[in-house]
Amino acid sequence: MFSPSGPKILVGCAPCQPFSSYNQKNEDPKYKLVEKFAELICDIEPDIVSMENVPRLLAFQGGKVFDRFLKMLEKHNYSVDKRVIYAPDYGVAQSRSRLVLVASRLGPIRFIAPTHTPDSYSTVREAIGDLPVLKAGEIDERDPMHRASRLSEINLKRIRASRPGGSWKDWDDKLVAKCHQNKSGDGYVSVYGRMTADDPSPTITTQFFGFGNGRFGHPEQDRGLSLREGAILQSFPPKYAFAPPGEPIQFKKMGRMIGNAVPVLLAQAIARSVKIHLNEVASATP
């Protein structure tokens, strides 16, 4: 809801699935929601606009979708700053890159400079290393979000054979899944992997709690990430409540909430960029 006395700020994001590297066919019609968001902007004409998506939006359909979006904003007198942001540059312990756009009808706007450098990036160990130890299938009695998925006997053997930063290619042949034994599956190495403790984590997806869904094996414990660990790697506060007390915790539901979220520290960087811009505009107004 817009306040009559304050600046109008509209933040939105079209679904990223049509532009994701997981979508090989590029036939998902939801890509048209990028243009629908532009139409909404042009109808409302808020003072400030922000949007984030995956970097592949820049090249989708030869760049035509994003170019149309920019032209619609420029036609309505928006100054635009767009860039691909690397989340660790803003304190997020996760190797996540996002396309971020901020735009203003009040004057030139800029995204704030990085707050971290490679030698000060937050790591997996720093983010989740102090959480209680869990086994696969266990739940921390003090925090129902700190729960890990069960692992089958074969997957327990697989994770025990996995090294941080490695892949299923490090295993004995008897542990390799049939789909990866075929030539068509040989290139899919970004699954069944352990994270490296002293680096940022891989990109957290909606399926981060499953060991076989990516490089989501805990770097030291024989299990996948817990829901709480995934949330912390998305830079949510360690005690953030995702459900009312007593409500059942469902892996898929919570995984979608956490994995689809903009990392909190990245959202804060966007908000700081807008605040700095508004202060500059206010100070320049007679």
pLDDT in tens, 67-97: 999 999 999 999 999 999 999 999 999 999 9
Which tens digit of pLDDT belongs to each residue from 18-28?
545 444 455 55
CA–CA gap between residue 10 and residue 14 (Å, rounded): 13
Structure confidence at residue 14 (pLDDT): 67
Q: Are strands 97-104 and 48-53 parallel, antiparallel or unpaired?
A: antiparallel
Active-site residues, by number, are 16
CA–CA gap between residue 144 and residue 146 (Å, rounded): 5
Cβ atoms of residues 90 and 266 within 8 Å: yes
CA distances from 98 to 22, 51, 237 (A): 15, 10, 21
> Which residues, including other chains, have CB under 8 Å from residue 86's CB and lie 6 or more apart?
95, 96, 97
Structure confidence at residue 34 (pLDDT): 85
CA–CA gap between residue 157 and residue 36 (Å, rounded): 48
Structure confidence at residue 185 (pLDDT): 46
Structure confidence at residue 182 (pLDDT): 62
| Nearest CA-CA partner of 263 in 217, 240, 239, 231 | 231
Buried b (16+ CB within 10 A) or exposed e, 6-28: ebebbbebbebebbbeebeeeee
Domains of the chain: 9-119+262-284 (3.40.50.150), 123-259 (3.90.120.10)
Per residue of the chain (286 residues), give pLDDT as tens: 567 778 999 998 766 555 454 444 555 555 578 888 899 999 999 999 999 988 888 887 778 888 999 999 999 999 999 999 999 999 999 999 999 999 999 999 999 999 999 999 999 999 999 999 999 999 999 999 999 999 999 999 999 989 998 877 888 778 877 766 665 444 455 678 899 999 999 999 999 999 988 899 999 999 999 999 999 999 999 999 999 988 999 999 999 999 999 999 999 999 999 999 999 999 987 7
Q: Is 88 left (phi over 0), alpha (psi -120 to 50) or beta?
A: alpha
Structure confidence at residue 176 (pLDDT): 78
Structure confidence at residue 4 (pLDDT): 75
